[in-house]
Amino acid sequence: MTNHDRDPAGNASTPAGDTDIVLEARGVTKHFPVRRTVGDLVGRRRRTVHAVDDVSLRLRRGSVTALVGESGSGKSTVARLLSQLYPLTEGEIRLGGTPVKAGRGRSFRAYVKQVQLIFQDPFASLNPVHTVRYHLTRSLKIHGKQATEAEACELLERVQLLPPLQYLDKFPHELSGGQRQRVAIARALGADPKVLLADEPVSMLDVSIRLGVLNLLRDLKERLHLAILYITHDIASARYFADTTLVMYAGRIVEGGDSETVTQQPAHPYTQLLIASAPDPDRVADEEDQEETGSGEPPSLISPPGGCRFHPRCPKAMERCRTELPPRFELDGGQWAACWLYEDRPVSTVVPGAPAKGDGAADTTGDGPAPSTTEVAAK
């Protein structure tokens, strides 16, 4: 398969009118203007933050796509673009195959009825002066449902807060972090959405309850046939929870493919370093074998480096990487990487110390036992 046999998101080409595709981003770009300074006013163009550049992805029914990257890579901006909270600088968003540009009022309400965003911070996403009952019934009213106690209880049952009557009249401060996030998920389900955009939904929760929330989202995906975008900086949880993983760096997606393949056979140097940086008690570091990785700091998105944005930190950077932006090259098994290393050859690269398939790896098929919370946190 050549690079031209894939869509902009790096997915294998599919026939027109693929009914499984619910939400699609095509070449989505977002630049934020920087506040002018005295220097900017004297013969200089206004500077912008290149938060997201040319991002494309597809979300399918009954499937989880993970967007992985370090803080500041643009993951949350992508979620807000897909939820139409930010206007696009360039690109296009398609819902059900139709281009959409939700403004405000009725058009925005019609859009968010199908695409719901779950925020990262469960302590800030719920109004502290209102009860759980208020949050759920308001969601039902906004989206044209009967805002009855029975309907609110059904939403709580969906997120496994039982018995539901015990939670309806509680305030957010009376709930734990995990319970608050479940209420936020229940509120999103009040719209009967087709897509959930989960922006790091477990990063602010205690390690002991993260796995329970991920399992809840997986159960909702299977029962309601939802398309889920799972945004995270934890690539181990992406391997456990997601079907497809996309890796983002400095506003661009640099690698994608099946979650098991991307996490166990990472191709892009950034993905390799991202996995190698995760604590692993079974991997013994040999200082003599450690490669230099540049400054270790992400680039400025006001004046991003030319060529590949990762080249200042890349241990395998070539001269070409400094001047030319790499396209996406096809690898084995549907994997792809935007890296000049693979212009002329496929690759099968395994990170030193990463578990091979079948060797203590987290099961992602749902057929085997789920890993313990400690295992997910440690990897």
Q: What is the pLDDT of residues 4-22, one digit of tens each?
A: 344 544 444 444 447 799 9
326 and 10 in contact (C-beta within 8 Å)?
no
Q: Quickly list DSSP for 83-129.
A: TTSS--SEEEEEETTEEE---STHHHHHHHTTEEEE-S-TTTSS-TT
Structure tokens at 274: 């991202």
pTM: 0.83
* Same domain, residue pair 102 and 37: yes
N- to C-terminal Cα separation, the chain: 33
Q: How many domains does the chain have?
A: 2
* Same domain, residue pair 63 and 104: yes
94 and 100 in contact (C-beta within 8 Å)?
yes
Q: Is residue 165 part of a domain?
A: yes
* Same domain, residue pair 98 and 223: yes
Q: How confident is the model at residue 376 (pLDDT cuts 50, 70, 90)?
A: very low
Instruction: Give me the pLDDT at residue 282, please.
Output: 67
Q: Is residue 287 part of a domain?
A: no
Segment 310-369, tens digit of pLDDT: 999 999 999 999 999 999 999 988 899 999 999 986 444 433 333 333 333 333 333 333
Question: Tell me, what DSSP letter sits at residue 283?
Answer: P
- Among residues 156, 175, 191, the one where a domain terminates is 191
CA–CA separation, 357 vs 219, rounded Å?
Answer: 24
* Same domain, residue pair 365 and 265: yes
* Same domain, residue pair 157 and 199: no
Q: Is residue 129 part of a domain?
A: no
Q: Is residue 94 part of a domain?
A: yes
- Among residues 167, 191, 215, the one where a domain terminates is 191
Sign of torsion over alpha carbons 23, 26, 27, 33: negative
213 and 237 in contact (C-beta within 8 Å)?
no
Segment 254-288, tens digit of pLDDT: 999 999 999 999 999 999 999 988 776 666 555 44
Q: Is residue 263 part of a domain?
A: yes
Segment 72-113, tens digit of pLDDT: 999 999 999 999 999 999 999 999 999 998 878 889 999 999
Boundaries of domain holding 187: 134-191
Structure tokens at 87: 């206007």
* Same domain, residue pair 8 and 73: yes
